[in-house]
Amino acid sequence: MSAQSKEQPTQQATEPVAPRSMGTAHDRVDGLEKVTGRAAYAVEHTADDPLHVWLVQSTVAKGRVLRVDTGLALAHPGVVSVVDHTTAAKLEDTENAELAILQDDAVGFRGQIVALVLAETPEAAREGAALVSVHYEEQPHEAELREDNATYRPDHVNPELETDTEEGDVETALREAEVVVAQTYRTPYEHNSPMEPHATLATWAESAEDSGDSVVLDLYDSTQGVVGVVSALAPMLGLQPEQIRVRAPYVGGGFGSKGQPHSHVMAAALAARAARGRPVKLAVTRQQMFALTGYRTATISHFRLGARADGTLLAIEHRVQEQTSAIVEFAEQTASPTRMMYAAPHRRTSHRLARLDVAVPSWMRAPGEMPGMFAQEVAMDELAEACALDPIELRVRNEPDVDPETGRPFNNRRLVECLQRGAERFGWASRPRESRGRREGDWWVGTGVASATYPMMTMPGNSARVRSLGRGRYSVSIGSVDIGTGARTVLQQIAADALAREPHDIDLEIADSSLPPASVAGGSSGTSSWGGAIVAAAQRFRADHGESPDAGPETTASATANPAEATHALHSFGAVFAEVRIHRWTGEIRVPRLLGVYSVGRVINPMTARSQFLGGLVMGLSSGLFEESWRDPRFGHIVTQDLASYHVASHADVLDVQAEWLDEEDHLATPMGSRGIGEIGIVGTAAAVANAAYHATGVRVRSLPVTADRFLEVPGSRI
Amino acid sequence: MDVPITLRVDGRDCDVTVDTRTTLLDALRERLGVTSPKKGCDHGQCGSCTVLLDGRRHLTCLALAVAYDGADITTASGLAEADQDALHPVQQAFLDHDGYQCGYCTPGQVCSAVGMLEEVKEGHPSQATADLEAEPELTDDEIRERMSGNLCRCGAYVGILDAIRETSGRTS
């Protein structure tokens, strides 16, 4: 199998695929496994006589480990061994400071892995970890994000975007503007919190030294990208990529937190190496996830909008302050949507960071767009108010002809149509012009709108293999992962159309690093990137082997780079509408209606796509109303480290939520005519909620989440 | 301390030795290899580990196995007839309404829905029930309230509601 992954794929330019299955609803091909619970997630795979690993985490935010006392732990029945920085295998590359655990005595954040306990049962491993006594030399730390310490300018922001941009003369434009909105907006720390905690089942081949090309480290990992795990771990462990095999047939959500391996994956690898042939199971606990598996930084967005009295924007300034960890830099691209969303001749954006002694932040669904568009879309609502304009009309007046950031034409910018279609469906026209204009019994009622956007991305490094099984059947293979998106179903539909067959004629193999490589399920790029490779391989196969091949022939191909990426600004757009009711005495806030209308290219599977949009809207609603992690700066840890204190939306919070999309196909984007859909649902949603809350009560909330206490002083609510 | 107990799991009698610290969830998952109930939080906060225990929906992570010697457990896998893959009507409705994405909370949602529908039949009220004396009517708000112990981070709540409403025989 490893020989196949080394094979050089053919580069193939793709042609648009005629839709047959694409555009029609298909039940998930893995539905039966999921509703019965028979689908096996990472550590649910059977392993022969496994050891269980429990993590020991630092209790100081910064310092040195002086001594690890393991005596009590080792004396506990069932504990087999303790691995710490004095006994762990040495890594060959320690540049990735998040993954390079147990290599020295340094502690960079509270909750960092400082030892591993291996035991015969999970109960013994857990008790053993509690019995390990770690002695520290504590050093002063900084763990609080403030406006006065977020001053460091990173070289770039995620993924490789410019830190700062400047066009025109913002100060002069703001001086000359007839209307100025200057406000600061904040979003809190947020944790991805997929339902399946991160988990890894690892086996290190006993005779690793003489294993040559064969697999040394075998992993079942809960990951959004099997290739990413291999490429991160292999150089650190001194292995060739072919010597690591990662499989992830089922993944219980990720939302970015499984987009790249975090330190527990290395912990599993080091534990497996120490266990010498015995499989090890490492299941991160829900509490540990709040320190180890990534999160969204809190953000502070200083916005200044300058406009003419008619709402025409002259200047946009968005200065972002946020944090990274001291050990690894991650700079959320919070101002990136501000660079392309609305027309304005004068514009300035910047990002400054506090480098804190805290856990490593990372991707969380729509990094950049989610917090940035919260700020921008509430600021636009404030501008509409200041100009006495309908919020939709304000956005229509500031539509750019070309992408303000690059000067390129947009692929198909249909923001205004999304706003108008949504307004029609939502009944927008009947809203009172003024805020605090509608009360029903004890409830203030309001409606709000926000725009949404997400870039259309395809990732490099994808190839797919198509093999004829004869009689019109094909095997199609690519190492992509279905984290719940429906990729397994949708890729089968794409392959069927690209091969002019039916979906049931396709045997799809995914989620294994021994298959042709695939990029991460992230950035809403999965279907575009993997689907493009499948189309390339299918079209190449048909050119080489015709329409009725015997069993046997196969083609492995990659899609050539999309020329439109150099000529066009490729984005998706949407509009979110919310109705909010706020109780006049308690401030309780409910969202009885939420609607998203999207322009995303062709929707390949309306059933799974609707679930993706609704899921994004629900997560956006959740961020709007509930989600907020609290860090105690004295100790450097997240206090709200479970699902009882980190609140996410539950059944009772989700009322009438609907999504629809415009009919379109976008062949500048992909041969399927599709763009990505995974993230846009979370963008703008919290802003729509906050704007509706303002419309209901006249209270402007500029920091998330929008909670009941903000509304206790609403004029007219007190007797 | 190790203790031998017997559990009836999806119609099969299983003798298993558990540590007195072993939760019912870990007894199922780690000792019996029954992984249909999922571990989402291990603290009774998410509902992923829900099974039907002696006919009632029950969190297995908040239960010590040693206290449940002789219990009769039905998982989502057991709700479907294993030999024919014939699904329980609730499971079929989850498929029809796409009431799931990643599938990790799904077995717990399914067991919770089956148990919840039974509770309603028996006349149990909920926080959303206006009249505690009357037969509860399974409105959408009742379903939402009664299912709120089962979190879904993919946000499939709309589809789950549709699935349960359909199974209950009520139309929207």
Instruction: Examine residue B12 and state whether it is found in any structural domain, yes or no.
Output: yes
- Residues 6 or more apart from A330 whose CB is under 8 A from it? A158, A297, A324, A360, A361, A362
Q: What integer pLDDT is reported at residue A211 of this predicted model?
A: 56
In this complex, do A30 and B103 lie within 8 Å of one another by their Cβ atoms? yes
In this complex, do B102 and A255 lie within 8 Å of one another by their Cβ atoms? no
Q: Please state the φ and ψ torsions of residue B66, each to the nearest 5 degrees.
A: -60, -25
CA-based angle A613:A224:A704, to the nearest 5? Answer: 50
Distance CA A52, CA A201 (A): 9
Q: Specify whether the CB–CB gap between A338 and A349 falls below 8 A.
A: yes
Q: What integer pLDDT is reported at residue B85 of this predicted model?
A: 72
What are the pLDDT digits (tens) for A527-536? 999 999 999 9
Q: What integer is the mean pLDDT of A141-168?
A: 98
Question: How close B99 comes to chain A (CA, Å)?
Answer: 8
Residue B104 in contact with partner chain A when CB distance is under 8 A: yes
Instruction: Examine residue B102 and state whether it is found in any structural domain, yes or no.
Output: yes
Q: Specify whether the CB–CB gap between A695 and A447 falls below 8 A.
A: yes
Question: Does B56 share its domain with B108?
Answer: no
Q: Specify whether the CB–CB gap between A111 and A357 falls below 8 A.
A: no
Of B78, B103, B135, which residue sits at a domain end?
A: B78
Contacts 24+ apart (CB under 8 A), A548-553: A548/A472, A549/A468, A549/A470, A550/A468, A550/A470, A551/A468, A551/A469, A551/A470, A551/A471, A552/A467, A552/A468, A552/A470, A553/A467, A553/A468
Distance CA A152, CA A160 (A): 17
Q: Among positive and negative, which fits the CA dihedral B149, B151, B156, B157?
A: positive
Q: What integer pLDDT is reported at residue A4 of this predicted model?
A: 42
The minimal CB distance from A615 to the residues B29, B101, B103 is found for B101
Instruction: Examine residue B93 and state whether it is found in any structural domain, yes or no.
Output: yes
Residue A2's pLDDT band, with cuts at 50, 70 and 90, is: very low
Instruction: Examine residue B112 and state whether it is found in any structural domain, yes or no.
Output: yes
Instruction: Examine residue B84 and state whether it is found in any structural domain, yes or no.
Output: no
Question: Does B66 share its domain with B94?
Answer: no
Percent composition of chain A: helix, strand, coil (DSSP 3-state, to 5): 30, 25, 45
Closest residue of chain A to B140, computed from CA coordinates: A655
Question: How close B16 comes to chain A (CA, Å)?
Answer: 14
Strand partners, A138: A63
Question: How close A619 comes to chain B (CA, Å)?
Answer: 7
Q: What integer is the mean pLDDT of A315-341?
A: 98
Contacts of B104 in chain A (CB under 8 A): 41, 194-196, 252-253, 484
- Print the SS3 string covering B73-120: EECHHHHCECCCCECCHHHHHHHHCCCCCCCCCHHHHHHHHHHHHHHH
Which residue type sits at A678?
G
In this complex, do A250 and B148 lie within 8 Å of one another by their Cβ atoms? no
Closest residue of chain A to B172, computed from CA coordinates: A656
Contacts of A41 in chain B (CB under 8 A): 35, 38, 104
Q: Specify whether the CB–CB gap between A511 and A249 falls below 8 A.
A: yes
Instruction: Examine residue B132 and state whether it is found in any structural domain, yes or no.
Output: yes
* Of the candidates A477, A476, A339, the residue with the CA atom closest to the CA atom of residue A408: A339
Question: Does B93 share its domain with B161?
Answer: yes
Closest residue of chain A to B48, computed from CA coordinates: A195
| Distances, alpha carbon B91 to alpha carbons A36, A187, B34, B64, B85, in Å | 8, 38, 18, 28, 11
Question: How close A173 comes to chain B (CA, Å)?
Answer: 43
Q: What integer pLDDT is reported at residue A105 of this predicted model?
A: 98
Q: What integer pLDDT is reported at residue A471 of this predicted model?
A: 96
Q: Please state the φ and ψ torsions of residue A486, each to the nearest 5 degrees.
A: 105, 15
Residue A592 in contact with partner chain B when CB distance is under 8 A: no
Residue B59 in contact with partner chain A when CB distance is under 8 A: no
Residue A633 in contact with partner chain B when CB distance is under 8 A: no
Question: Does B8 share its domain with B74?
Answer: yes
In this complex, do B98 and A195 lie within 8 Å of one another by their Cβ atoms? no
What are the pLDDT digits (tens) for B12-69? 999 999 999 999 999 999 999 999 999 999 999 999 999 999 999 999 999 999 999 9
Question: How close A343 comes to chain B (CA, Å)?
Answer: 34
Contacts of A39 in chain B (CB under 8 A): 103
One DSSP character per residue, A634-653 reads TTTEES--STTTS----GGG
CATH number at residue B99: 1.10.150.120
Closest residue of chain B to A614, computed from CA coordinates: B155
Maximum CA pair distance of chain A?
Answer: 83
What's the token pair of residue A404? 């303000």
What are the pLDDT digits (tens) for A48-93? 999 999 999 999 999 999 999 999 999 999 999 999 999 999 999 9
Question: Does B64 share its domain with B22?
Answer: yes
Residue A33 in contact with partner chain B when CB distance is under 8 A: yes
Q: Among positive and negative, which fits the CA dihedral A617, A623, A625, A626?
A: positive
Closest residue of chain A to B46, computed from CA coordinates: A643
Question: How close A607 comes to chain B (CA, Å)?
Answer: 7
Up-side HSE of residue A368: CA atoms within 13 Å toward CB?
25
Question: Does B22 share its domain with B46?
Answer: yes
Contacts of B144 in chain A (CB under 8 A): 651-652, 654-655
Q: Is A33 a catalytic residue?
A: no
Distance CA A306, CA A170 (A): 9
Q: Mutation target for A interface from B102, B126, B148, B167: give the one with most A CBs within 10 A.
A: B102
Q: How far apart are the first and last CA of chain A?
A: 75
Question: Does B33 share its domain with B62?
Answer: yes
What are the pLDDT digits (tens) for A612-637? 999 999 999 999 999 999 999 999 99
Residue A39 in contact with partner chain B when CB distance is under 8 A: yes
Interface of A with B in 279-308 (CB under 8 A): 283, 285-286
Q: pTM for this one?
A: 0.97
Q: What integer pLDDT is reported at residue A1 of this predicted model?
A: 37
The minimal CB distance from A650 to the residues B29, B77, B151 is found for B151
Interface of B with A in 8-47 (CB under 8 A): 19, 21-22, 26, 29-30, 33, 35-43, 45-46
What are the pLDDT digits (tens) for A435-469? 999 999 999 999 999 999 999 999 999 999 999 99
CATH number at residue B27: 3.10.20.30
What's the token pair of residue A70? 């393991």
Assess whether pLDDT exceeds 50 at residue A487. yes
Q: What integer pLDDT is reported at residue A719 of this predicted model?
A: 40
Which residue type sits at A372?
G
The minimal CB distance from A193 to the residues B100, B102, B153 is found for B153
What's the token pair of residue A444? 């203030």
Contacts of A594 in chain B (CB under 8 A): none
Residue B147 in contact with partner chain A when CB distance is under 8 A: yes
What's the token pair of residue A177? 């503007």
Distance CA A489, CA A606 (A): 12
Residue found under tokens 């725009």: A451
Q: Among positive and negative, which fits the CA dihedral A602, A605, A608, A614?
A: positive
Of B26, B51, B78, which residue sits at a domain end?
A: B78
Question: Does B127 share its domain with B93?
Answer: yes
Assess whether pLDDT exceeds 80 at residue A717. no
One DSSP character per residue, A98-112 reads TT-TTSSSEE-STT-
Instruction: Examine residue B121 and state whether it is found in any structural domain, yes or no.
Output: yes
Question: Does B72 share its domain with B96?
Answer: no
What are the pLDDT digits (tens) for A198-249? 999 999 998 755 556 699 999 999 999 999 999 999 999 999 999 999 999 9
Residues of the domain holding B155: 89-168
Interface of A with B in 107-126 (CB under 8 A): 121-124
Give chain B's domain count.
2
Contacts of A285 in chain B (CB under 8 A): 42
Residue B56 in contact with partner chain A when CB distance is under 8 A: no
Residue B155 in contact with partner chain A when CB distance is under 8 A: yes
Closest residue of chain B to A126, computed from CA coordinates: B21
In this complex, do B161 and A651 lie within 8 Å of one another by their Cβ atoms? yes
Task: Kindly report the average pLDDT of chain B as a whole number.
Answer: 96
Instruction: Examine residue B153 and state whether it is found in any structural domain, yes or no.
Output: yes
Question: Does B67 share its domain with B131?
Answer: no
Question: Does B67 share its domain with B93?
Answer: no
Catalytic residue among A329, A628, A679, A713: A679
Of B15, B45, B78, which residue sits at a domain end?
A: B78
The DSSP call for residue A519 is: -
What are the pLDDT digits (tens) for B130-146? 999 999 999 999 999 99
Residue A27 in contact with partner chain B when CB distance is under 8 A: yes
Question: How close B172 comes to chain A (CA, Å)?
Answer: 12
Question: Does B120 share its domain with B154?
Answer: yes
Up-side HSE of residue A308: CA atoms within 13 Å toward CB?
7
